[in-house]
Amino acid sequence: MVDAKFGVRRLAAVYDLFEGGRGDLEHYVAMVGEFSARRVLDVGCGTGELACLLAGAGVGVVGVDPAEASLEVARGKEFAERVQWIHGDATTLPGLQVDLAVMTGNVAQVFLTDEDWAATLSGVHEALVPDGRFVFETRDPARRVWEEWRDWSRESTYQEVPVAAGGTVATWGEVLAVELPFVTFRGTYVFSSDDAVFTSDSTLRFRERAELEESLVSAGFVVDDVREAPDRPGMEFVFVARKTSRP
């Protein structure tokens, strides 16, 4: 099930307005150079910010996402014509051979069951060339970020921005449930042009480092490094895994 903020066309169209400059993508761009990757798979590419950024730099990019509404936004961006867009997920990829696969943002945490996570790892593994790398980020459960999210309210999270078509869209967030390792929260969106109100519920799974390492090894990867996200020091695990033959 795709979250409404990605799958509802009206919400997908304004998603980027609330995401700022996406400085979090800079270290992924740097790793493309670090690993001399010429072809990159962006799993859960969303509205295509990273995919188009890399394509503009001359990198071959495949962007895959289960939300068609988000892909429609992505296809309208500069350099989008250089990207191979796929409506689907890592388990439905055509035959690919990429040097690097990435998952940015919350993508790695939306796979709530062990079966879905294992199937995703298998799909990524299949798409990589021998010794190709898989890089993704996930929040460190030890930081217990959900305790900060519990204080969310309309007053503390309210944002309002203008929309190109006219009027504004306002949004705020609230936590609905903390049932570890799962945390569920809701975003509310109000369009001033017609007073339309939308809600989007999301659930993230917080996996421990050892759990993630074990799952990667089981899927045929070796973990070369676990880094921090430079823009959020101490908050995230950034896994750098390398494809090996399956055990």
Residues 233 and 197 grouped into a single domain:
no
CATH of residue 112: 3.40.50.150
What would the pLDDT profile of 50-109 be if each residue is shown by its tens digit?
999 999 999 999 999 999 999 999 999 999 999 999 999 999 999 999 999 999 999 999
Residues 73 and 192 grouped into a single domain:
no
Residues 161 and 188 grouped into a single domain:
yes
Residues 189 and 212 grouped into a single domain:
no
Instruction: State pTM to two decimals.
Output: 0.94
Residues 192 and 72 grouped into a single domain:
no
Residues 104 and 159 grouped into a single domain:
no
Give me the pLDDT at residue 246, please. Answer: 61
- Structurally, the chain folds into a number of domains equal to 2
**How far apart, in whole angstroms, are the C-alpha atoms of residue 149 and residue 157?**
10
> For every residue of 47-64, which 3-state class applies, written as one string?
CCHHHHHHHHCCCEEEEE
Residues 11 and 130 grouped into a single domain:
yes
Give me the pLDDT at residue 158, please. Answer: 95
Give me the pLDDT at residue 23, please. Answer: 75
Q: Are 104 and 134 in contact (CB under 8 A)?
A: no
Give me the pLDDT at residue 233, please. Answer: 84
Note down the domain range covering 157.
143-204
Give me the pLDDT at residue 237, please. Answer: 96
Question: Lowest mean pLDDT: which of 73-87, 144-158, 200-214?
Answer: 144-158
